[in-house]
Structure 1
Amino acid sequence: MAIYGYARCSTNENKQDINRQKRELKALGGVVEKNIYWEYESGTKVDRIELNKLLERVAEGDTIVATEVSRITRSTKQLCEIVETVKRKHLKLIIGGFIVDCSKGELDAMTDGMLKMMGVFAEMERNMISERVRSGMANAVINGRQIGRPKLSEENLPSIFIKHYPKYRYNQINKTELAKICGVSRQSIYKYIGIYEKLSRQ
């Protein structure tokens, strides 16, 4: 029986420090570093690479630990699907101080209701954040300010990409691994590499 952790932030490590979650996972459930699955993805995204890997790897009797429901998902529907996986595989799910024990394949009504309520609040919080963002963007347009991300150029390439690019350049890691280190998609890595290599040729 193994203990696994899952950590998630919405934006890359230049803006959010995922290591705090890792430290909390180790303290909370005794998770070792090699058993922590982590990624920078939106909590509303259903098809997350590291979460899917974790759910495929766990076996009967294993435990999954997360610091809070919103780290696993901000979708009530997806949370229900994950709970079904936990029940089917006879797992234990620890969310902060809340323990969901499905080692016998069952879940009592009280725990099930509390878990779903936590999922509803996580989704509601996300919707409220989205509303505030839309309101802020509308206000910025009214006041003539530019919105959205600045155009990507050599001046604003992430420092973490520049730091780890030599590993890719000398075939120590591939594009997928570089994307994971940088906390961005493979599509973004292709853009970064194109800009950086064009700059290097000048």
Structure 2
Amino acid sequence: MNAVAYLRCSTAQQDYTRQKANLDVIAREKNWTLKRTFAEKISGSVKADDRKEFKNLLAYVKVNGIKMVMVSEISRLGRRVVDVLNQIETLHENGIALYVQQFGMASLDRDGKENPTVKLLMQMMSIGAEMENNMRKERQRQGVALAKANGKYQGRTRGSIASPEKTLAKYWDVVNLLKSSKLSLNQISKITGRSPNTVRKVKDLM
């Protein structure tokens, strides 16, 4: 099967060497022919249609018999839910599946039908990525306002314990998967990148 990889970092200081190395290994293990790798350093908040390399990828896969686009995480496609889902739909309309290393699964099965488990995971993680991005911006805004008001920022006291509500809000991705899937704790840990102990802690708090 012919495949391509899409790598993205948000800033010039970041590096996508690890993304490429991991996807190269997966392609070899699955006996996929990795025809090209498209990589760019640009914020995930920028729409895919405005990203040069992603546009090049779409143009390439449509005319070169590509059946699989590989990414390390769903957030590499972007951090806006509608944008991510639109790009996945565009791939599917052309009979092209999306393989997400984060899930270890592809969005289409061998018959070209949508994998319902992957679809659910993609929707949830895309929503989560957008929420996380928005919360980060809000925290930055509040931090600037607080710094201007007080001349300094007082963070969380060392050794303090977060409330159950804050813990559940922090690990929203784990909460969503625990509520809406039948995945094991180890699978959830692998998908979210959270430690098994963290997943267990969240489960106990729910």
Query: 2-side partners of 1:111 and 1:117: how far apart?
Result: 10
Cα root mean square deviation, aligned: 2.5
The separation in 1 between residues aligned to 2:7 and 2:125, in whole angstroms, is 17
Aligned partner (choices 33, 56, 59) of residue 56 of structure 1:
59
Matches within 5 A, 1:115-194: 115-142=122-149
1:194 corresponds to: none
Identity %: 33
* Pair 33,19 (structure 1): closer, same or farther in 2 beyond 3 Å: farther
1:43 partner SS: coil
Q: Give the structure 1 partner of residue 119 of structure 2.
A: 112
Match of 1:2 in 2: 2
What is the TM-score with the length of structure 1 in the denominator?
0.62
CA deviation digits over 1:100-131, x for unaligned, max 9? 12664431444322221121111111112212
- Give 1 or 2 for the bigger CA radius of gyration: 1
- Structure 2 unpaired stretches of 5+: 153-206
CA contact (8 A) 1:94 1:100 kept: yes
Task: Mark the CA change 1:69 to 1:91 in structure 2 (over 3 Å): closer, same or farther.
Answer: same
Q: Aligned pair 1:71/2:69, yes or no?
A: no
Contact 1:90 1:104 in 2 (8 A): no
SS of 1:90's partner is coil
Distance 1:111 1:103 in 2: 14
Aligned residues: 143
1:144-174 alpha-carbon deviations (Å, 9 max, x no partner): 58xxxxxxxxxxxxxxxxxxxxxxxxxxxxx
Query: 1:44 maps to which residue?
Result: 45
Contact 1:92 1:100 in 2 (8 A): yes
Structure 1 Cα separation of the partners of residues 34 and 66 of structure 2:
20
* Alignment gaps of 5+ in structure 1: 146-202
Aligned partner of 2:195 in structure 1 is none
- RCO (CA 8 Å, sep 6+): is it higher in 1 or 2? 1
Partner of 2:17: 19
Kindly provide the amino acid, as one letter, of the partner of residue 82 in structure 1: Q
Find the residue that maps to 2:107 and give its secondary structure.
strand
